[in-house]
Copies of this chain bind each other. A is one copy, B any other.
Amino acid sequence: MDLEKLFKPKSMCVVGISRKNPLNPGRIIFLKNIYEMQVEVFGIHPDGGEVEGAELYTSLEELPKVPELMVIAIPAEKTLDYVQQCADFNIPGCIIISGGFAEIGGEGIKRQDKLIKIANDNDLAVLGPNCIGVYSPPLLDTIFMPTERITRPPKGTVALISQSGGVLVDQFFHKFNQINIGVSTAVSIGNRAVIDETMLLEYFSKVDKETSNIAFYLEGFKPTRSREFLQLARESEDDIIVYFGGLSENGKKATKSHTASLSGNDKILKAALKQNLIVQPSTELELLTTLKLLDILSRKKKPFDPNTVLHGNVAILSLSGGHGVICADLLKKYGLSAVDITQKEQNEMKRFVNPSARDIATFQNPIDLTGSVQDKDIENIIQYLSQIKRIECIIVLILPYTPSLSFQIGRRIANVVSEYKKPLVCFIPYIQKYGMIIEALELSNIPVFHSIEEAVQGVSVLKKRTRIMKFKGNSSS
């Protein structure tokens, strides 16, 4: 099956376009791709006519050329006829938005079995049914929510594969915009009757050149396919992230009705993912932190060596005692520990700090430079800590309300990181006023987070990645 045509078609046709209802999914997909995306689009309606000035053809035969992809958004009972036409016309790919298959049981299961047979007999790449399809900027977008309702992430290098359309649009699309990372291709697999997560893992890992990290939302592996998935993940040069829903008892009940897949035993699954070098975030927040950090490490301009070994030994640099304490409290939860700083080192650091901060600052770990800190002090201390080998990563907690700190502090921290290449993660409150500082750090690809917990999570991702690189033989560098 030629998956590439699903994601990078030169031309496509849409069936199931309402000429009357502006909220009809087929119509939204048709118009969205004409006016917002680059793929060549043909609309099909048995009665012909037009919608908003765009011509509709009565059938496949009428089209000026055979398209490379068909998007089907008609009631379930009429779907298979069009799928058969794809096979007859040698159209290589087909996305079925329509529901009414295995997820409704009974008749739907039979319909899905027939669908699978047509696809396999004809080597037809079928995505869905019961899905929201594909977002592959700048070419293609079958996600049938009106443009004014959703937020689309920018082009980037994360491939997203989701068993839930809602999770794809909300937990990924919305949040990616907020945390400033982009998508190579996003795929909603729906009932995954034909194309499943394992085939997509193989495609994005081995074929697609635009993808660096591959993230999944799954509520269970497709039956009989987990072994191959795990094997592919282990061998992949990309970072593989799987966020699992439905692992709790309440969640399991929910997934049975929702996607009819079994998620099996939580602990066994967790161990299998870890063994096969898959990162498994356990909360919404950790999912995004993980993706953000891995995305930064896959960019061309890297803030520090992405292959730095990190066992978990960190130094915390704060300007507020309380923030240092809260950060220190979180280390153990994320498998990290605070490096002991010797009395000699403490005395040396003291010399690098301005006189009014010097006597009230503390140089144990967490280091608290206090509200009397100046830009130069932070530069000096980061430089000093960068040269201590047993410190593998520095967490800097910046609170720019302190008057003696300038708004150039972001740029100045970035300069030190670019010189010493020591892994460093920043916390800074998310406030419009601090935008200049945040931007300067982000432009230099320094990981910036807006809660202390995310900053600590970010460092824990570096630790997880050290283990993964060890087994993958640093091939992902």
Q: Mark A residues whose CB is within 8 Å of B.
A: 23, 25, 28, 99-100, 103-104, 144-146, 148-151, 162-167, 169-171, 174, 217, 219, 245-251, 253-255, 257-259, 283-285, 318-326, 328-332, 337-338, 359-360, 362, 364-366, 368, 370-371, 399-404, 429, 431, 433, 451-453
23 A–B contacts, CB within 8 A, in A order: A99-B360, A104-B360, A145-B402, A151-B431, A164-B321, A165-B320, A167-B323, A170-B401, A174-B429, A219-B325, A245-B322, A245-B326, A245-B329, A246-B325, A246-B328, A251-B326, A253-B364, A254-B328, A254-B364, A254-B366, A257-B364, A258-B324, A259-B321
Asked if A151 and B433 make an inter-chain contact with CB atoms under 8 angstroms apart, the answer reads: yes
Nearest CB of chain B from residue A144's CB, rounded to whole Å = 8
Of the residues B247, B285, B366, contact of A453 by C-beta under 8 Å: B285
Question: Which chain B residues border A284 with CB–CB below 8 Å?
Answer: 326, 451-453
Asked if A325 and B401 make an inter-chain contact with CB atoms under 8 angstroms apart, the answer reads: no
Q: How far does the alpha carbon of A451 sit from the alpha carbon of B175 in the complex, in Å? A: 10
Nearest CB of chain B from residue A404's CB, rounded to whole Å = 6
9 new A-B contacts at CB < 8 Å, known A166-B319, A250-B329, A258-B368: A23-B404, A165-B322, A171-B326, A250-B331, A251-B328, A253-B338, A253-B364, A257-B362, A258-B324
Instruction: Check A371/B165 contact, CB under 8 A, given A322-B217, A404-B23.
Output: yes
What is the count of identical protomers in the complex? 2
Q: How far does the alpha carbon of A404 sit from the alpha carbon of B145 in the complex, in Å? A: 10
Question: Which chain B residues border A364 with CB–CB below 8 Å?
Answer: 253-254, 257
Question: Which chain B residues border A433 with CB–CB below 8 Å?
Answer: 148-149, 151
Asked if B321 and A170 make an inter-chain contact with CB atoms under 8 angstroms apart, the answer reads: no
Question: Which chain B residues border A451 with CB–CB below 8 Å?
Answer: 284-285
Instruction: Check A170/B250 contact, CB under 8 A, given A164-B321, A258-B321.
Output: no
Q: How far does the alpha carbon of A404 sit from the alpha carbon of B403 in the complex, in Å? A: 51
**Which 8 residue pairs spanning A and B have beta carbons closest together?**
A166-B320, A164-B322, A167-B322, A258-B321, A251-B329, A250-B328, A23-B403, A245-B325
Q: How far does the alpha carbon of A149 sit from the alpha carbon of B404 in the complex, in Å? A: 11
Of the residues B162, B257, B429, contact of A170 by C-beta under 8 Å: B429
Nearest CB of chain B from residue A386's CB, rounded to whole Å = 21
Question: Which chain B residues border A323 with CB–CB below 8 Å?
Answer: 164, 166-167, 170
Instruction: Check A325/B150 contact, CB under 8 A, given A283-B453, A360-B103, A362-B257.
Output: no
Q: Most B CB atoms within 10 A — which of A100, A324, A368?
A: A324
Of the residues B246, B250, B404, contact of A337 by C-beta under 8 Å: B250
Nearest CB of chain B from residue A312's CB, rounded to whole Å = 12
Asked if B248 and A329 make an inter-chain contact with CB atoms under 8 angstroms apart, the answer reads: yes
Question: Which chain B residues border A431 with CB–CB below 8 Å?
Answer: 151, 174
Question: Which chain B residues border A145 with CB–CB below 8 Å?
Answer: 401-403
Question: Which chain B residues border A171 with CB–CB below 8 Å?
Answer: 322, 326
Q: How far does the alpha carbon of A254 sit from the alpha carbon of B340 in the complex, in Å? A: 11
Question: Which chain B residues border A164 with CB–CB below 8 Å?
Answer: 320-323, 325
Q: Most B CB atoms within 10 A — which of A99, A330, A332, A403?
A: A403
Q: How far does the alpha carbon of A251 sit from the alpha carbon of B326 in the complex, in Å? A: 7
Question: Which chain B residues border A453 with CB–CB below 8 Å?
Answer: 283-285
Question: Which chain B residues border A319 with CB–CB below 8 Å?
Answer: 166
Asked if A322 and B166 make an inter-chain contact with CB atoms under 8 angstroms apart, the answer reads: yes
Asked if A322 and B219 make an inter-chain contact with CB atoms under 8 angstroms apart, the answer reads: yes
Q: Most B CB atoms within 10 A — which of A247, A285, A401, A402?
A: A401
Nearest CB of chain B from residue A179's CB, rounded to whole Å = 13
Nearest CB of chain B from residue A355's CB, rounded to whole Å = 12
Asked if A163 and B322 make an inter-chain contact with CB atoms under 8 angstroms apart, the answer reads: yes
Q: Most B CB atoms within 10 A — which of A146, A318, A371?
A: A371
Q: How far does the alpha carbon of A144 sit from the alpha carbon of B401 in the complex, in Å? A: 9
Residue of B nearest to A219 (CB): B325
Nearest CB of chain B from residue A415's CB, rounded to whole Å = 23
Residue of B nearest to A368 (CB): B258
Question: Which chain B residues border A330 with CB–CB below 8 Å?
Answer: 248
Q: How far does the alpha carbon of A399 sit from the alpha carbon of B170 in the complex, in Å? A: 8
Residue of B nearest to A174 (CB): B429
Question: Which chain B residues border A258 with CB–CB below 8 Å?
Answer: 321-322, 324-325, 362, 368
Question: Which chain B residues border A452 with CB–CB below 8 Å?
Answer: 284
Question: Which chain B residues border A283 with CB–CB below 8 Å?
Answer: 453
